[in-house]
Amino acid sequence: MFLGAGAGGSSGRDETLVSDWNTLGGSGSQAGGKLDPLYRAPTGDSDQPGQVVLQWTCVPQLELNLFDGDGQNTAPGTVFIKPLQAQVMINKMPAADQEVTFKIIDDFEETGTTFIDGRTTVTVITDSSGIATTPFLKAGSTPGVFVVEATWHELDIVFDELEVARTTGNTLTIFSGNNQNISLWSGRPWSEPLVVKVTDPDGRPVSDVKIEHFQR
């Protein structure tokens, strides 16, 4: 909360910025409001007849915005690609060290989805960019949609495009390229490409399947 005071011969307010006000009248040369707990010296201390003292409080503008992680789907029992992220803003500036609570709401199709540590509600702290990042989500065993609600103070947002996808029965396995090591600063490429294999329920190779690779 911000405090302010001023003096002058007229007053007014912007209805979009000021929620309430109170006009106090003085007595003689004593300015009205000098006994108010928000009064700050030396404003109004010159004891000049007709002096007007204005004091006000400004309530910070709070925002909670969806930042990243919505619009994902994954197969039952697997981990979603991205964590969920929400951003806290105070007076249009990112706010660090704020507690944001994320809650999985799975009442619709009861997918059984949790965060990767098994919880359905987590509270995380915003970083220097005002961003709160959850643990990864782990899909339950039942296909369907679910939502995650994020709350901070009296504000809330909903991640409402999350789905445990219905699978075709194909299996994706690592074929080659796993367990490689390379120096971080070497500048050299990996010695082997990353290769996966898709098979149908009978173990036969499946062609023309789009595979997306993500780094975690």
Question: What is the set of domains in the chain, with CATH numbers?
Answer: 1-59 (no CATH), 62-164 (2.60.40.10), 168-216 (no CATH)
- Find all residues with CB under 8 Å of 89, minimum gap 6, and list them: 61, 62, 63, 64, 65, 95, 130
- Are 90 and 58 a contacting pair, CB within 8 Å? no
pLDDT of amino acid 6: 47
42 vs 1, higher pLDDT: 42
CA atoms of 25 and 22, how far apart (whole Å):
10
Mean pLDDT of 108-130: 95
The model's pLDDT over 165-207, given as tens digits with 9 standing for 90+, comes to 877 677 778 888 888 887 767 777 878 888 888 887 667 787 7
Given a cut of 50, whether residue 3 has pLDDT beyond it is: no
Mean pLDDT of 109-122: 94
